[in-house]
Amino acid sequence: MARTNSYKEHQTPWQIVHQRAPNVRPQIVALPPVYLDDLFACMPNYAPAGGHDVVPWPSRPRRLATLWLTTSLHAFCHAYLTLLTPLYLALQKGFDLPGVAGATLLVSAQGVAFCLGSLPVGLLADRVSRKRLLAIGLLLNGLAFAALSRADSYWMAVACLFAAGLAGSFYHPTALGLLVALADGRPGKFIGVAGMGAAVGFFVGPTFGGFRAEAAGWRAPCLELGLLGAAWAVVYELVARDAPVEGRQAAGRPRKPPRAYLRSVLWYFGLVSLVFAMRDFGATGVGTLSSLFLQKAHEYRLGPTGLFLGLMCLSSLLANPLFGSLSDGAHRLRWLGGLLLAASLAAAAIPWMPRALVLVALVAYGIPVMASYAVGEAALAESVPDEVRGTMFGGFLTVAGVIGNIAPWAMGRLSDALGTEATHVSAYGPVYAGLAALLALSTLGVPVLNWVRTREVLQQFERPEQERGSASPS
């Protein structure tokens, strides 16, 4: 460490290290040597219990493979969430329910469980292998849907879907942290690519569910998609790789953010969650209402209804990575606000379009509303450090998602209340207008989120430790 190097302007190794990391301590030279080639060969999972392990950063091919595999998990996650969306009337008939609200309650139970599990999963995602959590979640989700296909009572179906929702909650808080860590400074691009998986899932779920149920009953798609997801979870576990979590100390423990930071951000993240809950309620409500609207007012069969709902979201296959990449930079929140306003206008127009143009209206709505999730998740991820990213995003999903997933049941109740009017197109106009208003009001979350992103306490957290009072090397 004391020998000068003529190729480095006659500096010693210690001088070079100290230039790049002024807060590094001289004791670093006493650490035992680690052979990186051996570590790359065995690629250990990143969950050190202690010591001074040096964790290899996944190579670019590995990172891209993990990105696309995680994108496929996103597709399964949303395929399971939307599989039953065109099947409300079939479920009502299959379980001999008095109204469609009982069928929509099944999807609400799944969605509420999906969000209730987000906070504890977020806490886990900040402490254990994110890759393994994702694989376990998909495995349990698939098995829950396979069990649903054998449910012989309504309440057993509720239990299966609640379990599926809890398993599905493993994805978002876990994948968000993994993708941001893999993104190497461009989270919008990686989250946008992963958002393509959501678009595929939103298309495959209702389309496959509708046509398969029309041919073989509603149980067939649940069994087949469930078993496929369980098998794919094994593939993900074997091929995907974890990324090191930023800021882990040598002892393998995450840094603790200042208490002032946690107090401030918890309060304002709670407010952001409540505001964006209006977006989630409006977006989920439009999906459920459109299923009932197409079948009751326009008399579409199960298959075409599922296809229309799937195409509504498939359009975002390109929109998500496009808007995710465009929003990388200083104007991400402006993009988010604009997308929410565009989705609001498109949602209000759906019931007033002629039957031949309903699909056009649904696609025009699907592009901005789906892209708003990719852009919004990137903005949320950038608002907090990696050490608490899973926890904060899990809390956000718990609040906003639970409120948003009440929407399917609420739309079912409204449909039952309409009675015979539910077959008239004009009866849906005020309901769509109300949901569009919620989407527009959710733009109020943009200035609040901007305040969180520019907090002085966040800057304090990101400063070197010596600026926060630790001793510097001498």
Domain count, the chain: 1
Q: Which residue has the higher pLDDT, 261 or 298?
A: 298
Task: Flag whether 6 is in a domain.
Answer: no
Task: Flag whether 48 is in a domain.
Answer: no
Task: Flag whether 307 is in a domain.
Answer: yes
- Close Cβ partners of 279 (under 8 Å, ≥ 6 residues apart): 340, 372, 400, 404, 438, 439, 442, 445
Tally Cβ neighbours within 10 Å of residue 419: 9
The DSSP secondary structure of 111-133, one letter per residue, reads HHHHHHTHHHHHHHHTTS-HHHH
Q: How confident is the model at residue 8 (pLDDT cuts 50, 70, 90)?
A: low
- Report the SS3 class of residue 11: strand
Residue-range definition of the domain harbouring residue 375: 60-242+255-456
At residue 114, does pLDDT exceed 70?
yes
Give the residue-averaged pLDDT of 173-178. Answer: 81
Q: How confident is the model at residue 472 (pLDDT cuts 50, 70, 90)?
A: very low
Task: Flag whether 21 is in a domain.
Answer: no
Read off the pLDDT of residues 27-51 as tens digits, 9 standing for 90 and up: 676 666 665 554 554 544 444 444 4
Predicted confidence at residue 293, as pLDDT, reads 95
Task: Flag whether 383 is in a domain.
Answer: yes
Task: Flag whether 179 is in a domain.
Answer: yes
- Close Cβ partners of 166 (under 8 Å, ≥ 6 residues apart): 113, 114, 116, 117, 140
* Element holding 384 (H helix, E strand): none
Give the residue-averaged pLDDT of 398-404. Answer: 87
Q: How far apart are CA 181 and CA 240, in angstroms?
A: 14
Check residue 32 and give left, alpha or beta (phi > 0: left; psi -120 to 50: alpha). Answer: beta
Task: Flag whether 402 is in a domain.
Answer: yes
Task: Flag whether 120 is in a domain.
Answer: yes
Give the residue-averaged pLDDT of 239-247. Answer: 66
Domain CATH number, residue 176? 1.20.1250.20
